[in-house]
Amino acid sequence: MTGYFSDIPKIQYEGPESDNEFAFRHYNPDEVVMGKRMEDHLRFAVAYWHSFAWPGGDPFGGQTLERPWFGETMEHARAKADAAFDLFEILGAPFFCFHDLDVRPEGESFAKSCANLDAIVDIFGEKMEATGMKLLWGTANMFTHRRWMSGAATNPDPDVFAYAGATLKSCLDATHKLGGANYVMWGGREGYETLLNTDLTREAEQAGRMLLSVVDYKHKIGFDGPILIEPKPQEPSKHQYDYDVATVYGFLKRFGLENEVKVNIEQGHAILAGHSFEHELALAASLGIFGSIDMNRNDYQSGWDTDQFPNNVPEMALAFYEVLKVGGYTTGGTNFDAKIRRQSLDPEDLVLGHVGGMDACARGLKAAAAMLEDGGLESMRDARYAGWEGPEAQKMLSGEYGLEEMAHYVETTGLDPQPKSGRQERLENWVNKFV
Amino acid sequence: MTGYFSDIPKIQYEGPESDNEFAFRHYNPDEVVMGKRMEDHLRFAVAYWHSFAWPGGDPFGGQTLERPWFGETMEHARAKADAAFDLFEILGAPFFCFHDLDVRPEGESFAKSCANLDAIVDIFGEKMEATGMKLLWGTANMFTHRRWMSGAATNPDPDVFAYAGATLKSCLDATHKLGGANYVMWGGREGYETLLNTDLTREAEQAGRMLLSVVDYKHKIGFDGPILIEPKPQEPSKHQYDYDVATVYGFLKRFGLENEVKVNIEQGHAILAGHSFEHELALAASLGIFGSIDMNRNDYQSGWDTDQFPNNVPEMALAFYEVLKVGGYTTGGTNFDAKIRRQSLDPEDLVLGHVGGMDACARGLKAAAAMLEDGGLESMRDARYAGWEGPEAQKMLSGEYGLEEMAHYVETTGLDPQPKSGRQERLENWVNKFV
Amino acid sequence: MTGYFSDIPKIQYEGPESDNEFAFRHYNPDEVVMGKRMEDHLRFAVAYWHSFAWPGGDPFGGQTLERPWFGETMEHARAKADAAFDLFEILGAPFFCFHDLDVRPEGESFAKSCANLDAIVDIFGEKMEATGMKLLWGTANMFTHRRWMSGAATNPDPDVFAYAGATLKSCLDATHKLGGANYVMWGGREGYETLLNTDLTREAEQAGRMLLSVVDYKHKIGFDGPILIEPKPQEPSKHQYDYDVATVYGFLKRFGLENEVKVNIEQGHAILAGHSFEHELALAASLGIFGSIDMNRNDYQSGWDTDQFPNNVPEMALAFYEVLKVGGYTTGGTNFDAKIRRQSLDPEDLVLGHVGGMDACARGLKAAAAMLEDGGLESMRDARYAGWEGPEAQKMLSGEYGLEEMAHYVETTGLDPQPKSGRQERLENWVNKFV
Amino acid sequence: MTGYFSDIPKIQYEGPESDNEFAFRHYNPDEVVMGKRMEDHLRFAVAYWHSFAWPGGDPFGGQTLERPWFGETMEHARAKADAAFDLFEILGAPFFCFHDLDVRPEGESFAKSCANLDAIVDIFGEKMEATGMKLLWGTANMFTHRRWMSGAATNPDPDVFAYAGATLKSCLDATHKLGGANYVMWGGREGYETLLNTDLTREAEQAGRMLLSVVDYKHKIGFDGPILIEPKPQEPSKHQYDYDVATVYGFLKRFGLENEVKVNIEQGHAILAGHSFEHELALAASLGIFGSIDMNRNDYQSGWDTDQFPNNVPEMALAFYEVLKVGGYTTGGTNFDAKIRRQSLDPEDLVLGHVGGMDACARGLKAAAAMLEDGGLESMRDARYAGWEGPEAQKMLSGEYGLEEMAHYVETTGLDPQPKSGRQERLENWVNKFV
C-alpha cells in the first residue's frame, strides 16, 4: 500500500447490522445467489477515469480534488496506478476499466503517447498478476483532446479519422494484452453541434466503416471479447449518433454487425434519452445485444449526466432482474461509471462511494434473484399472453392469416374483445415484497 | 356551403401587406418556387380529427367546443362531413386526412362500424369528385376505444390483434377506394405502461407480423401509396415502440421492411423524443425513409403533445430546407395535425389557425428555397468534408485501409491533425439572411 | 357493504412475511412510532375523484373503467357514496377528501348544484358519524367545466370570478359542516395558455383578492382549519401561477397571507416543477407554510402528471423525514391523490393500489423515524455549520459586521478558507442503513 | 488595434440587402425607434468571461480555443484587455460587463487579488475614457475557485462568508469606480448538491444577510445603480436558491428588499426553470423588479445552459415587446451572456457571433416597436378584461364584496357565465405580421 488510503482497511462483509461504514453490509463476495457466487454475478469494476483522473471540475468551476498523482509525467502515472491498485485491493472489486488518456500522459506525438501507454500496460500487467485484478474493458478517450472536437470516426477531416483508427488499434492492443473481457466504444463526439455544418449520411458511413474496421482488427489479433457500444443521446454533443439501444440496434443492422457488437448500458444515459434503465436493459436483452452495464444513477431533476453512485435499491432490483432474466453477464460486468461529488474531497469519500454502490447492487441482486426464484412475475406475464398459444393466434403470428382472414374471423364470430386488467399496482406491490 | 362558416369567405392570397386576417399573406398556391407551384410543393392537408372530432377536452377538463355535428349518429357524421368540406373549400387546401373513428359513428358490431365507414366513404367520394379535394392519407384509430387500451397489434390478447387486423383492412380499403396517396399507422397504444406486465420480445414480433400483413395486403389490393409509420416516444403510453425515426428504422430493418415503409414525422413528437424537428427530417432523408409531415409545433416548456399550429418561420424554414434537399414530397404532404386551443371556441378560430399555419409554412418554404438556390450552406458543407476526396481517405472509407494501415499512416507521417472552426455562428447568421 | 367490493375483506395488518396481497405488511395503525400511533402519524386520506369519479380517460382515449355509479343523477351519487364508504372501511383509512364535482351531479343552475351538494353532505355526515370517517379536506373543482376554461379567480370575465366566489363559499360551507380539517385550493386553470391574451398584473390582483376573501369568510364562519394552496407548475395550463412552494410563498407575502395560508404539496407537482419532493417539503417547513401532502408519484420519464400510487420506499423515507423533522402533521395528512392506471379495471386493483401505497408510506415513516431517532444526520449537519456559533460569525449574521468589516477581517487575518468535504456519499450510505 | 482582429473592420450598418457578413443588416445605432436611438434602446454589452476568458472546455473536453492572452500573469491580463477593447470597437457595442476573475489573475492572497483587480480597473478606466465604452455591470465570480464549492454567502463555513463579503466589496468598489450602471449577483453555488447535508433555513438567513449588507454598502459608497439578482434554477448546483423570478421575488419580500433589488433575466435560465423567456420578463415587469437582460438562447433539447447567441427573431420580438411595454431599460441593457461554440475557433467567429446576435435583437426590437405602436394586441387585451370596469366587478376586486355577496349575486341573477374565445391563433397570426 502506497499510503494514500493508509488508514482505511480492506473492506470486509460484516452483515446488515454492522455500524461500520467501512464494511459491506450486503455485498458478500462468496455468498451464493442462484447457484453463483455474488462476486461472479456482479463482476464489479472500478472506473479509472472518475476515481483517479477527474479533478472535480464542472462547467462553472475548476479543480476541487487534490491528488498527489495529478500531473502530466510518467512518474505521476505510476503513482496513480499505485493508488488505483490500492483502492482495488481495499474494495475487493475484481475488475477495473480505463481509457488510454486516464492512465498515461499525452506524448508529443502519437508514437510517444503509444509508448507511454505501453509502459503503463506493462505496469498494469505486473500489478494484475500480483493481485489477481482483471480488466473488464479498455477503451479509447477520443473526446477530450481538441483534435476530437468535431468527432473521431465522424470527423469531417479524414486525418482525424486516421488518428482515431490508430488510437483504436493501440487501445485494442492494450486491452488484448491485458486480457480484457470486452472493448468499449463511447462516441462522446460522434454527433453534431449543429445540423447546419453536418452531413448525416457521410458521417454515418464513416462511423459504420470504422466499426467494421474495429471488428476486423479484433478478429485479426484474436481478441475474443465483444465490442460494446455505449449509447448516450447527447452531452457533450447536441445530438449523439448512438442515442439509445434502439438506435444502436438500427445502426448495427445497417452495417450487418448485430451479431458482432453489443451494448454497454448506462443508467444515466438511459434517463437522458427518456427511458428507464430497466427499459434499456430489457430491450437490449430482447434484441440479443445486451453486453455490460455502466452502473451509476442520474439525478432525476438534472438535465445532464450526473454520474452518481447508485443508491436506490428498488431501482437496482429492477435492473438486475433484467440481467438475471437474460442469464446474467457473460463477458460483461458492473462498472461503476460513477464519480464522487466534487465536494467529496477526502480519500474516505472515494472509498465510501464505492462501498455504498456495491452494497446497493448487492441488495438489488438478491432482491432480483428472489423475485425470479419466486416466479410470480413471470407466471403472471405468461398468463397474460397465454391466448397466443391458441391455433388461430398462431396462424396470425406466423403470417398464415393475413388481414383478410383476420377480418373474416372478426366478422364471422362477431368478435368483440373485452379488455382485461393490466394489474400494474398489484405487480408493483408484489415487487415491493422483495425490495 | 352549409352555414357553419357562413360569414367567412374563401381565403385568398392578398400579399404580405394585407391587413385582412381572412387572407393569405404568404401562401399563394400558383406562385412558382423552384420550378413548382407552391400548392404542389406544400400539399397541405386538413386533419379531420382535431378540426372536426375533438371536443376540446384535456386531462383536467371536458368539452369546451360546441359543434352542431357532435353526436353519435350517421346524421351527425354527414353534417360533420358537410362542415369539413366547407372548411376545405374556404382554405383551398388540396388534401385531407382522417381516421375511421373521426368520420363515422361506432357501430354495435365491427360489421356495423364498417358499414358506417363505407357509407361515409361514399359521401366523401362524391364530395371529392365535386370539389377536387384529395385524400393525403387514411388511418385507423386504434387507441381511443377501451378495447385498445393494452395495444392493438401488440395486445396480449390475440383477439384484439385480429380486431386490429380487420380494422386495418377496412381502413386500407377505404383509403384505397378514395385514392389516398399514403396510409399512415400511429401506434398510440403500441407500447407499455409498465414493463412489469410486458413481454417486449413477443410484442415486437406481433408488431412486425402485423406490419408485414399490412404490406402484403396493400400489394394485394394494388394500393400503391407507401405505408407510413408515425414515430412518437410516449404519450399516451409510458413508452411507445415507434420512439423516433432511428428506432423505426431499426424495426424496419429487423423485419426487412425498410424499402416498403416510410415515416410520417411530426414536429411535436420529435421534440418529445429529444430531437429537433429538422433532425428527424434529415435523418429520415438520410436513411431513405422520409415520407410525409405532420406539421404542428409543441410548446417547448410542456412535456406533452400540444399539437399547436406552427408559427415560428425560422423553424419552418429549416424543416422545409430538409424537405427540398431530399427532392420535396413524392406522395407525402404537409398535414396539419394541429388543433386550435380549447379556449378558441369560434368558427373563425378554426379557420384562422389554418390560415396562420399555411402562411407560416409558405414563408418557411420560400426561405428554404432561397437558401437552397443560393447554395451557400451546401458549398460550405462540401468544403468541410472535401478532404475525403483524397486517395488515402477513400481507402479508409472503402475499407481498403484497416486500423493497421491507419496506424502506419499516422506514425510514418507524424500526423497531428489540427481542428478547424465549425463556424456555427457564421452559418446561423447566413440562415438569418433568408428567414 | 353494498356489494361492489364484496369479495374483498377489510385489510388487516399481517406483518412483513405475509403472502396475502389483501393484507398490510407494514401499516399497522396502532403501532407506536416516536410516541404516536402510526394512524395518527400518517393520517391517510382516500381521494374521491381518482377513485370514484375518474372514468379512465387520457388525452388519446376514453373511458375504460366501468362503475355502476357512473352517471349524472343523485341516485348515482348516492351509489357512489356507498361504494366510497365501503372502500374506506375496507382500507381502514381514517380520512377522505373531495371536490364538489366528485360527489354531486351538476345542476341546471348554481342553486341546483348547491342543493345537490347539500344533499350529499347530509349523506356524508350520516355515514361519517356511523363509521368514524373524517374529512381531511374539501375543495372546489373549478377547472373541469367549460366555464372555467380561462380561469376561475383569474378569469378575464368578472362573472366567472363571482361564480368562483360563490362556489368557494359553498365548498367551504360543506367542508365546515363536515368538520373538515383543512380547505384546499388547486388552481388548475389559474394560469394561462398564452401570454398574448393575458394580463399578469390584473390576474395576480384577482387571485390575491379571492384568497383574501376566502380567508375572511373562513374566519367569519369559524372554520379553524388552514387554507392550503396546492402548487403545480403547469398542466392543464401552459403556466400556472402557483408554480411551486417558493412561488406560492412570494404570492402570500405579497398579499400579507403567509400566516394564514399553507401549502398542500404533491410529489408529482414537485417533479414537474424541477424539484425533488423532499425539497418542496423542506422548503415549506423552512418557510413555515407546510400544511399537508398529496402523496403520489410521477413517472420520472413522463412530462405530465401521472398520479401513480407511491411505491419507492427510499423516496418515501426522505419525504417523511422532512415531515417528522417539522414535528409531523398538525391538521394535514397523507392524501392519496393517486389513481390506478386506466388499464387496472377491477375492484381489486382499486383496493390494492391503496394497500400498496399505504404500506410504502408506513415503511417510509418507520425508516424516517429510525433516522431521526438515530440522530446521525442531524448531528452531522449541526457539525457542518458549527463555525457559525463563533463570535465573528455571529456578528456577520446579525449585521453588526458589514462588507467593510468582513474585508478588514479577511485582509488582516490573511484568511484563505479551505473547503471541507461535503460527504454526500457517506450520508447517502447512512440513509441506506435505514431504508 | 492590437492585431488579434487585425483583418476585421469596424462593423457598419449596411442594410438588410448587404451580403457582407461583417456588416450589420439590421442594427443601425442611430436609427430612431419609438423616439429613441436603437443604441439607446438596446444598450448592448459584451461579456468579458465568455468572449475573453473561456477556453472552450465542456464536461467532456478541455481547451479548444487558443488566445494569446490566456495565462495567469498581469501581462496576459493587459493583453486580454487590449483585445477586449479591440472587439468592443469593432462591434460598436457601448457597454461591457465583467467578473473580477475574468479580468485579473488570482493573487496569492486576497489582498494581492485585489491589487491585481485595482490595476486592471485603472487600465479599464483609461480605455473607457479613450473610447467612450461604458460598464453595464460588474460582478464577482464566487463559483469557480474551489473555496466556493459549497457556496459563497450560503457556505456552511463563516470564513467563506467573510471572504465572499470582502470579495463583494472589492467588486462593488471596482464597479462604482468605473461608473457601472448596475451591479449583478449570480449565485452559481448558492444552492445545494444534496439536501442531506444542507440546512435550508440557515442558508436562507445567510443569503438574506449578505444581500442586506450589499445594499447597505452600496448606499454607503453612493453607488446609485441597482443591485440585480440573476435567477437560475440549477447548474452547477442541483438546486439553486434563486430559481426563477417568482422565487427571487419571494426572497426579496422576505427580507424587505423588493424595492432595492431587481432581476437580471437570462433566456437560457428561464428555459431551464420551465418558463418561456417572455414569461420571466413579463412577470418581473409585473412585480416591479425588472432590471436587465442576459441575452442568449438555450438549445431547447439540451438540459443544461448552452449560452448560445440569440438568433430566433420571433422570440426576440416577444422579449423586446415586454421590455418596451414596461418602458424600456432604465439602467439595464442587453448583455450577451453568450459564447461562441467551442468548435468556433477563429477570431472571425467571435466577431460574427456578436454581429448575428445584435442583428437578431435589432430585428426583434423593431418588430416589438411596430407591434406596440400598432396597438392591436393591447387593445384586444383591454377588451378581454373590460368587464372588470363594471361596478359589481369593482366591488369584488376592492374587497367590498366577499364570498357571500358573490354567492348572493350569482344566485339572485341566476348567473351562468359563458366562456368566450381566447383567440390564441388569431393573436399569433397577428404577431406574425410583424416578425
Give the model confidence (pLDDT) of B316-359 as tens digits: 999 999 999 999 999 999 999 999 999 999 999 999 999 999 99
Contact C425, A352 (CB under 8 A): yes
Question: Contact D426/B64, CB-based, under 8 Å?
Answer: no
In a 10 Å sphere around its CB, with 0-12 CB exposed, 13-18 middle and 19+ buried, how is residue B412 labelled?
exposed
Reported as a pLDDT band with limits 50, 70 and 90, residue C45 is: very high
Rg over alpha carbons for chain B, rounded to the nearest Å, is 24
Kindly state the average pLDDT of the residues B234-262. 98
pLDDT over 80 at A157, yes or no: yes
Closest Cβ–Cβ partner in D163, D243, D384 for C197: D384
Asked whether the ipTM of the predicted complex exceeds the cut of 0.85, the reply is yes
Domains in chain D, please, with CATH?
Answer: 12-374 (3.20.20.150), 390-432 (no CATH)
Residues from chain C contacting residue B186 (CB–CB below 8 Å): none
Residue ranges of the alpha helices (H) in D194-307? 200-221, 245-254, 267-272, 277-287
Could you give the dihedral angle defined by the CA atoms of residues D122, D124, D130 and D132, in that order, rounded to the nearest 10 degrees?
-130
Interface test with C, best of A271, A429, A434 (most C CBs within 10 A): A429
Provide the pLDDT for residue D382. 97
DSSP H/E element including D98: strand D95-99
Residue range B268-297, pLDDT digits in tens:
999 999 999 999 999 999 999 999 999 999
Q: Among all residues of A, which ones are annotated catalytic?
A: 99, 102
CA distance B197 to chain D (A): 31
Interchain contact, D156 vs C385, CB within 8 Å: yes
Whether D426 and B352 lie within 8 Å, measured CB to CB: yes
User: B3 pLDDT band (50/70/90 cuts)?
Assistant: confident
Residues of A in contact with B194 (CB under 8 A): 422, 424, 427-428
Q: Tell me which chain C residue has its CA closest to the CA of residue D145.
A: C419
H or E, element range at A97: strand A95-99
* Cβ neighbours of C314 in A, within 8 Å: 311-314
The whole-number average pLDDT for the span C99-110 is 97
Q: How confident is the model at residue C250 (pLDDT cuts 50, 70, 90)?
A: very high
Distances in Å between the Cα of B112 and the Cα atoms of A109, A410, A415, B52 are: 77, 12, 12, 22
What is residue A47's predicted lDDT score, i.e. its pLDDT?
98
The chains found to touch D (3+ Cβ pairs under 8 angstroms) are A, B, C
What are the catalytic residues of D?
99, 102
Percent of chain A with pLDDT over 70: 100
Average of per-residue pLDDT across A227-240: 98
Q: Is B404 annotated as a binding residue?
A: no
Phi, psi of B235 (to 5 degrees): 75, 110
Closest Cβ opposite residue A349 in set C311, C419, C423: C423
Compute the nearest-CA separation of B79 from chain D (Å).
23
Please report the pLDDT score of residue B363 as a whole number: 98
Grid cell, residue A411, equals 366478422
What is residue D419's three-state secondary structure? coil
Subunit contact A425:C309, Cβ cutoff 8 A: yes
Nearest to D236 among A58, A149, A299 (CB): A58
Q: What letter represents residue D81's amino acid?
A: A
- Residue A6: band (very low, low, confident or very high) from pLDDT cuts 50, 70, 90: confident
Contact check, Cβ <8 Å, D234/A343: no
pLDDT in tens, A293-344: 999 999 999 999 999 999 999 999 999 999 999 999 999 999 999 999 999 9
Give the pLDDT of residue B194.
98
Q: Which residues pair with C24 in a beta bridge?
A: C13
pLDDT digit string (tens) for C160-219? 999 999 999 999 999 999 999 999 999 999 999 999 999 999 999 999 999 999 999 999
Percent of chain B whose pLDDT exceeds 70: 100
Q: What's the whole-number mean pLDDT along residues D349-368?
A: 98
Across D76-81, average pLDDT: 98
Q: Secondary structure of D249-281 in the HEC alphabet?
A: HHHHHHCCCCCCEEEEEEHHHHHHCCCCHHHHH
- The pLDDT value recorded for residue B355 is 98
A348 contacts on C by Cβ (under 8 Å): 421, 426
Residue C411 burial (CB < 10 Å; 0-12/13-18/19+)? Answer: middle
- One DSSP character per residue, C134-184 reads EEEEEE---SSSGGGTT-STT-SSHHHHHHHHHHHHHHHHHHHHTT-SEEE
- For chain D, the straight-line distance linking the first and the last C-alpha, in angstroms and rounded, comes to 37
pLDDT at B170 over 90: yes
Rounded mean pLDDT, B147-176: 98
Supply the DSSP symbol for D58: B
CA angle in degrees (0–180, nearest 5) for D118-D228-C403? 50
Q: Smallest Cβ distance to A419: which of B146, B195, B427?
A: B146
Mean pLDDT over each residue of chain D, to the nearest integer: 97
Q: What pLDDT was estimated at residue C3?
A: 85
Q: How confident is the model at residue D6 (pLDDT cuts 50, 70, 90)?
A: confident
- DSSP category for residue A229: E
Residue D195 · residue C282 · CB < 8 Å: yes
Query: What is the residue-averaged pLDDT of chain C?
Result: 97
Tell me: the pLDDT tens digits for B74-117?
999 999 999 999 999 999 999 999 999 999 999 999 999 999 99
| B230 marked as binding residue | yes
| pTM of the complete model | 0.98
Note the pLDDT tens digit of each residue in A339-372.
Answer: 999 999 999 999 999 999 999 999 999 999 999 9
User: Which residues of chain A make contact with D302, given a CB cutoff of 8 A?
Assistant: 234-235, 238, 303
**Three cell numbers at D217?**
454598502
Q: Is B305 one of the annotated binding-site residues?
A: yes
- Look at residue A173 in the predicted model and tell me its pLDDT: 98
pLDDT at B1: 63
pLDDT at res. D91: 98
**A contact set with C (CB within 8 A):** 21, 25, 64, 271, 274-276, 300-301, 309, 311-315, 340-341, 343-346, 348-349, 352-353, 355-356, 359-360, 419-426, 428-433, 435
Work out the pLDDT band at C28, boundaries 50, 70, 90. Answer: very high
Residue-level pLDDT at C7: 87
Across C333-337, average pLDDT: 98
pLDDT above 90 (res C6): no
State the Cα–Cα distance between residues B97 and B119, nearest whole angstrom: 17
Task: Specify whether the CB–CB gap between B8 and B347 falls below 8 A.
Answer: yes
Which residues in chain B have their CB less than 8 angstroms from residue A168's CB?
403
Would the CB atoms of D61 and A272 count as touching at under 8 Å?
Answer: no
Asked whether the predicted pLDDT for residue B7 surpasses 90, the reply is no
Q: Identify whether the C-beta of residue D361 lies closer than 8 Å to the C-beta of residue D29.
A: no
D1: pLDDT strictly greater than 70:
no
Segment (H or E) for B284: helix B277-287
The single-letter DSSP state of residue C389 is: G
Determine the distance in angstroms separating the CA of C373 from the nearest CA of chain D, rounded to an integer.
16
Q: What is the pLDDT of residues A71-98, one digit of tens each?
A: 999 999 999 999 999 999 999 999 999 9
Chain D positions touching C320 (Cβ under 8 A) are none
Report the C-alpha gap between C181 and C43 in whole angstroms.
Answer: 11
- Find chain B residues with C-beta within 8 A of A257's C-beta: none
Does the pLDDT of residue A1 top 70, yes or no? Answer: no
Is the CB of residue A229 less than 8 Å from the CB of residue A185? yes
Structure confidence at residue B182 (pLDDT): 98
Scanning every residue of chain B, which has its alpha carbon at the shortest distance from the alpha carbon of C65?
B146
What number is the average pLDDT over the span B375-385?
97
Interchain pair D312, B309: CB under 8 A: no
**Share above pLDDT 90 across residues of chain A, in percent, rounded to a whole number:** 99
Query: What is the DSSP annotation of C256-293?
Result: T-TTTEEEEEEHHHHHHTT--HHHHHHHHHHHT-EEEE
CB contact under 8 A, B61 and C143: yes
**Closest CB from B166, B196, B216 relative to A427:** B196
Q: How far, in Å, are A157, B197, C340, D104 from residue A426 at the CA level?
A: 56, 10, 10, 63
Binding-site sequence positions of C for Mg(2+): 230, 266, 269, 294, 305, 307, 337
**Cell numbers 422576505: residue:** D254
Q: Compare CB distances from B346 to D21, D309, D421 and report the shortest one's residue.
A: D421
Residue C2 has pLDDT above 80, yes or no: no
Instruction: Look at residues D78, D89, D80 and name the one whose alpha carbon lies nearest to residue D123.
Output: D78
The continuous run of DSSP H or E covering C95 comes out as strand C95-99
Structure confidence at residue C1 (pLDDT): 64
**Summary mean pLDDT of chain B:** 97
Does the structure show a pLDDT above 80 at B248?
A: yes
Per-residue model confidence (pLDDT) at position A346: 97
Interface chains of chain B (3 or more CB pairs under 8 Å): A, C, D
SS3 of D290, please?
strand
Which of C26, C41, C50, C99 is catalytic? The answer is C99
